[in-house]
Structure 1
Amino acid sequence: EYLSGFGNEFSSEDPRCPGSLPEGQNNPQVCPYGLYAEQLSGSAFTCPRPTNKRSWLYRILPSVRHKPYTAMHCGNLTEKWDEVEPDPNQLRWMPFTIPKSSEKKVDFVTGLHTLCGAGDTKSRNGIGIHMFTCNTSMVDRCFNNSDGDFLIVPQQGEILITTEFGKMMVEPNEICVIQQGMRFSVNVFGETRGYVLEVYGAHFELPDLGPIGANGLANPRDFLTPVAWYEDREVATGYTVINKYQGKLFSSQQVFSPFNVVAWHGNYTPYKYNLDNFMVINCVAFDHADPSIFTVLTAKSSRPGVAMADFVIFPPRWGVADHTFRPPYYHRNCMSEFMGLIKGHYEAKEEGFQPGGGTLHSMMTPHGPDRDCFEKSSTALLKPERVADGTMAFMFESSFSMAVTKWGPSFDLLLLLVLRGGGGGG
C-alpha cells in the first residue's frame, strides 16, 4: 500500500497498532503504546514553510540506542575526484557486469561503484553518479546516507526496499528517492543492476512548469510514499547500520531492527514513481524543443534556473515536427550529461549504447547522433511516427564538471572519436 502525492504532509500508522499516532501534539510526555517520538529533519529548522522538510517517527526503540561508529572498507564507493587526469572526450561504457552469486555474494552496499562526480560532501555542494550491481539481499544490515539524497534507477531486476517509513517494491522503469538520513535495506531476487544519482546539499523536487501551466510532465499525485510498517525484532548477533558520512563508510552495531517505526507523520519521506506516468510535452510544428521538457525531478542550485542535477527521461512519444531533423540535435553544452539506458535502443545511437551501460558528455564537448542516424533522418519522409517505443533512456544532467573515478575506466570504456560521426545525443 502507498500514499500518493509529492511533498505532501502525510500520516500513517501500522494497522496492527491502531491509535499509535499521538493526537494533538508531536512529542507527548507519554506516546501511545509506550513508543518513542523521534524527529527526522531534512532541512534547517528555520527554512521557509514551502521548503521545510521533517517527519516525526514513533518507534519501539530510539535510533540513539547504538554502539559507536567505526570506519569500514569503502570498496569502489568514493568521493575522490582527482585520482584520474581530466579527459574531456566523449566516453561510453558497455553494460556493467553483474557478479555471479556462485562466485561472490554481493549486496546493494558492497555493489555500489562510483563512476563520476564533482563537489564536496563537507561543504554540501556536489553530486555523485554510481552503479549498483548485486546478487544477494541485505541481511541484518541497513544503509543510510548522511551526505545526501539517492535517486535510484533499477535497470535489471526488481528491488524490495524496506525503509523506516514502510516498504517499496521498485521495478525497472520505476525510480525511487531515498532522502538524506533515511535508513533502508534492499532485497533482490537474482542478478540486479541499476544507476544511482546522489546529490549533496539539495533535495529533489518537481521542476517549475512556467508557460506549460498547471498540468504536464510528472504529476504530483503519481508519486507514491509507503505506509507504515514495523518489525519488533531483536538481533542477538547484532544488526549493522552502515552510514555514508563525508564520502566514507562507517558501521555501527545495535541489537534490534531499525525498522521499528509503528507510525509516522510529516513531509520528509521516501517515494517512488513509475516513468510510464510521465506526460510528455513535445513540438507539434517545426524545430526542436530542448530536452529540459523531459525533466522528471530537479535538484536546484543557488543560481536561479541552474540545477545541481536534473533527472531527464526520453519516453515513448509521437514525433510530428515538420521540416525538422527530428533526432537530438548536435550540441555543445555548459552542463555535463550522463546518459543511461533502462531498456530498448536509443534513437540517436543504435549501436554500442546498450541497457545497463552509460555515456558521459563533458562540458562543451561536442556530441550528437551518429552518422547512420544522421543520414537516415536527413532523407526520411516526415510523417507522424512513434518514437522510442519499447525504450527508456534517461539523463543525469548537472551544472558540475564531472570527474571520472579510478574505477570508471576499469570497465569496458570506449573513447568516442569525432571521426566516427558523433558519439551520441543528449
Structure 2
Amino acid sequence: MSGDTRKTAEGLAYLSGFGNEHCSEAVPGALPEGRNSPQRAPLGLYAEQLSGTAFTEPRAYNRRSWLYRIRPSAAHPAFHRTGNGGLRTAPFTQSVPDPNRLRWDPLPEPAAGTDFLAGLWTLGGNGDAAQRTGVAVHLYHADASMDRVFSDADGELLIVPERGGLLLRTEFGLLHAEPGEVALIPRGVRFRVDLLDDTARGYVCENYGAPFRLPDLGPIGANGLAAARDFRAPVAAYEDVEGPVEVVNKFCGNLWRADYDHSPLDVVAWHGNLTPYVYDLRSFNVLGSISYDHPDPSIFTVLTSPSDTPGLAGVDFVVFAPRWLVGEDTFRPPYFHRNVMSEYMGLIEGAYDAKTSGPGGFVPGGGSLHNMMSAHGPDRETFDRASAAELRPQKVDDGLAFMFETRWPLSLTPQAARADHLQQGYDEVWRGLERHFGTLR
C-alpha cells in the first residue's frame, strides 16, 4: 500500500493474555520464523527491538517486542521543542503537597479543534520522570481526532475513558477503548487517537516506574481479580503513508516535535510481550467478604506497578466494579480510614456508594484527592443511611469508579490548585457527623 492508504483492519483480538508472548502480522510471511533478527527480514522489512525494561531484568518481568517495519525508527529528522500546553511532569516542585481533601468537577468544554494531546491537563503527581519513579495524574477533554502522532518516553499511559470512545492507532495495530474499558500504551510506543464520538473525556495515569503488571494473588489462589485472558492486544495494522507527518515526543517533561516524511505507524508484523492492550473493567472478578466486615480496597486492584519496597506500590490501579454485598452486621460502604497511600479517585459512570452529597457532588468526569493520612470516608448522608439499612443481599451496579493509589503524596500543579472547577467547601460533606457516645447502646 502507498500514498494516503491506511490499513484499517479491526484491532481487537485475544492474543494469549496479559504479559505473555503475542504475535501478529498484517501480511502473511512478514514474521520471520525461528529468528528475531535474521540477516534479511522478510518482505524487505527492518527488524527492530522495543525494550520496555532493562535487558537484564528477570525473565518474569522482562518486557520487549520485535517489530518488523517498513522503515526503522532511526530514520527520522531532528526534534525541536514545542509548547507543552496543559501537560506537566514530575518533579512537581511549584507547590507543596496539600494535606487537605480536595475534589474537582469535570474539565470544562475544550476549545474547538482540541485533539487528545492538546486536551491533556495535568492535575499533579509525584516522583521524578527522569529517574523513572512516581506517577502523574492527567485528565483529557477533546473534540477532534489527531492528525499527528505522539509518544511518551517518560512513562506508560493508562487511559481511562469516561465519555466518548477512542480508536487508538498504534505501532502494533488498532485498539478500541470505550467508557468502562481502559487502554494502556507502553512507554515510547507511538500512537494517534481518533474520536469515535463528537467529544471524548477521561483520565490518564502516566506511570514513570515499573510497567504495570497483574498483582500476585497470594492466599486468594489461582483465580480472581483481573484474568490475563481478558486483556486484548492489537492485531497488526500498518500505515504505508508517504508525506509529511508531525510526530511529537514527550521527553523528560517537555514536548518535542519533528516532521517525518512518512508515517511511523508502519509496523507490518510484531511479536513479544510488550504491547498496548485494552481491558474491560466489567470483566473484573470481584472478591469480597461473604461473612462479615468490609475488605480493604486492595482487593479491587486490577494492575500494579511495584516499587523497590515489597508491598508498597509506585501506583495501583483499582476499580470498584459491580458486585454483591452480603456481609452480616457490617457497615457496607467504604469505612472511615487514613491511609499511608495517597488516593486519586475518578468516576466513570453512575454514583459512588460513599460520596452522595456536598457542593457539586462527585460526578462522572470529576475526581477527588486524599493524600496520605488524610482522614476520609463516607459522607454524613451515606453514614446515616448505611447505619440504618436492612442488611439484605445487595447488588451494587449503579456506578463504576476507580482509584490511582500511590506510595507518595501527590503535589498539585498550579493550574489544578487554582482551577475554577476545584470545588470549594468539600469538607462540608462530613459536617454533622455528630457525637453519639453515651446516647446509644
* Counterpart in the other structure of 1:184: 191
> What is the rounded CA distance, in whole Å, between the counterparts of 1:185 and 1:234 in structure 2?
17
Paired with 2:234 and 2:386, the residues of 1 have a C-alpha distance of 45
Alpha-carbon deviation of 1:122? Answer: 1.2
CA distance in 2, matches of 1:108, 1:205: 25
Q: Which residue of 1 aligns with 2:384?
A: 375
Change (3 A) 1:240 1:414: same
Question: Partner amino acid for 1:95?
Answer: P
Aligned pairs for 1:164-179 (under 5 A) are 164-179=171-186
Residue equivalent to 1:117: 125
Q: Distance in 1 between matches of 2:301 and 2:431?
A: 24
* In 2: Cα distance, 1:346 partner to 1:36 partner: 50
CA contact (8 A) 1:175 1:272 kept: yes
> Partner amino acid for 1:58?
Y
Amino acid at match of 1:86: P
**What is aligned with 1:61?**
71
Aligned residues of 1:301 and 1:307 also touching (Cα < 8 A) = yes
TM-score for both structures, normalised by structure 2: 0.92
Give 2:105's aligned residue.
Answer: 94
* 2:371 aligned with 1:362: yes
1:346-357 equivalence runs, <5 A: 346-351=352-357, 352-357=361-366
- 1:96-120 Cα distance to aligned partner (Å, 9 max, x none): 1232xxx521001111111010111
In the aligned structure 2, how far is the partner of 1:343 from the partner of 1:204?
A: 24
Structure 2: distance between partners of 1:422 and 1:192: 35
Cα offset for 1:273?
A: 0.3
**The one of 87, 96, 111 aligned to 1:77:** 87
Partner SS for 2:381: helix
Aligned CA-pair RMSD: 1.3
Residue 6 of structure 1 corresponds to: 18
Counterparts of 2:222 and 2:255, CA distance in 1:
42
Report if the CA contact (8 A) 2:105-2:422 is conserved: yes
Quick one: distance in 2 between partners of 1:35 and 1:254? 18
Distance across 1 between alignment mates of 2:152 and 2:231: 22
Q: How does 1:138-157 map to 2 (within 5 A)?
A: 138-139=146-147, 141-157=148-164
Alpha-carbon spacing, 1:136–1:402, altered in 2? closer, same or farther (3 Å): same
d(CA) in 2 for partners of 1:86, 1:182: 31
Moved more, 393-402 or 404-413: 404-413
Taking structure 1 as the reference length, the TM-score comes to: 0.95
After superposition, where does 1:11-410 map in structure 2 within 5 Å? 11-14=23-26, 17-79=27-89, 81-99=92-110, 103-139=111-147, 141-188=148-195, 189-235=197-243, 238-351=244-357, 352-387=361-396, 389-408=397-416, 409-410=418-419
Q: CA deviation at 1:146?
A: 0.4
Identity %: 52
Q: Is the 8 A contact 2:97 2:410 kept in 1?
A: no
Once the two structures are superposed, residues 204-263 of structure 1 have per-residue CA deviations (whole angstroms, 9 ceiling, x without a partner) of 00001111100000000000100111121101xx21111111011111121111111111
* 1:413 counterpart SS class: coil
Rate the CA distance shift 1:151–1:422 in 2: closer, same or farther, 3 A.
farther
> 3-state SS of the aligned residue for 2:298?
helix
- Deviations along 1:308-352, whole A, 9 cap, x unmatched? 000001111111101111110001111100000000011111130
- The DSSP-based 3-state class of the residue aligned with 2:386 is helix
Select which of 404, 412, 420 maps to 2:421. 412
Provide the rounded CA distance (Å) in 2 between the counterparts of 1:8 and 1:27.
20
Instruction: Give the aligned partner of residue 436 of structure 2.
Output: none
Q: Residue 2 of structure 1: SS of its match in structure 2?
A: coil
> By how many angstroms is 1:416 displaced?
4.6
SS at match of 1:253: strand
**Aligned partners of 1:8, 1:63: CA distance in 2, in Å?**
25
Counterparts of 1:411 and 1:109, CA distance in 2: 22
**Count of aligned pairs:** 414
In structure 2, what is the Cα distance between the partners aligned to 1:44 and 1:308?
A: 18
> Alpha-carbon deviation of 1:123?
1.1
**Residue 366 of structure 1: SS of its match in structure 2?**
coil
In the TM superposition, what is the alpha-carbon distance from 1:86 to its structure 2 partner? Answer: 3.5
CA deviations over 1:160-182 (Å, ceiling 9, x no partner): 00001000010000001101111
Runs of 4+, deviation exceeding 6 Å = none
Give the drift of 1:275. Answer: 0.6
Secondary structure, aligned partner of 1:375: helix
The Cα shift of 1:417 comes to 5.3
Partner Cα separation in structure 2 for residue 322 and residue 284 of structure 1: 8
8 Å contact from structure 1 (residues 217, 294) kept in 2? yes
SS where residue 109 of structure 1 aligns? coil
Q: Deviations over 1:67-117 (max 9, x none)?
A: 101011001111251223432110000111232xxx521001111111010
Which structure 1 residue ranges, 5 or more long, are not aligned? none
| Alpha-carbon offset, residue 152 of structure 1 | 0.4
Letter in 1 for 2:181: E
Distance 1:415 1:268 in 2: 43
Contact 1:98 1:193 in 2 (8 A): no
